[in-house]
Structure 1
Amino acid sequence: TPEQVFTILRTQVDLVLPGGAAVLNAGYPMLVEMAPLCDGEVIFFATDGQLPALREHRAQGKRAVFARDGQVILASGDDEAVIASLEAIPLTEGGSASGAIENVLAAASAAWALDIRPELIRTGLETFTVA
């Protein structure tokens, strides 16, 4: 049931300590509902930067990663930084592989949560290939 799935998935968010971060896909309402359960920071990611949950999150000054106009954007509140073109990221197959784009955004979010510099995140995204 959806309730059971929520209970299982929330265990990972419940484990995040202050100073840690949970990376959650804002495109899934169930995951958005988990954000308040996190004792650390929540970084939302989404292929659609206009999702209400992501916009509200940013309005609170929080961090988010999303795709817009073929670009990967790191945002903190109103501040935005383009870090890479989706076309330049091999995993996205020229920016057309939607599932891979979500994975790229999640990876960028996780790296950013670890305070990896944006230029290093870009380099990782643009040089990672599947063997």
Structure 2
Amino acid sequence: MRPPAMQGIHHVALICSDYKRSKRFYSETLGLPILAEHYRAARQSWKLDLQLPDGSQLELFSFVGAPPRPSRPEAQGLRHLAFAVTDLDAWLAYLQQQGVTTEPVRVDEYTGKRFTFFQDPDGLPLELYQV
């Protein structure tokens, strides 16, 4: 018996160390529209839902005392979050204007597609992958 069909990724959840800084980075620097924002008093935690162009979402959470990522880049868990872009060079220029440092552009040895990595305010590796 085969499993039922999946429709895709609904959301990716991230825990940030500085909620306001991460909210500004993802909503203003990366330009993701805010869908909803909630403060959960019982947990002293913010939850921010951001819309990705394909309909999936990015959730940002703040939790008091959340431990930092143990090591990088090969720690277990989420390795990186990749965003599909059509114009990598335009994104590189834009991120540079925003003061965001990117790694040198690489080429995927299997697909021939160009990509680069950069970090969010908490050091989470983010990738821009030209499609």
TM-score, L = length of structure 1: 0.24
Q: Which protein is bigger by CA-based radius of gyration? A: 2
More strand by share: 2
Say which structure, 1 or 2, has more relative contact order (CA 8 Å, 6+ apart). Answer: 2
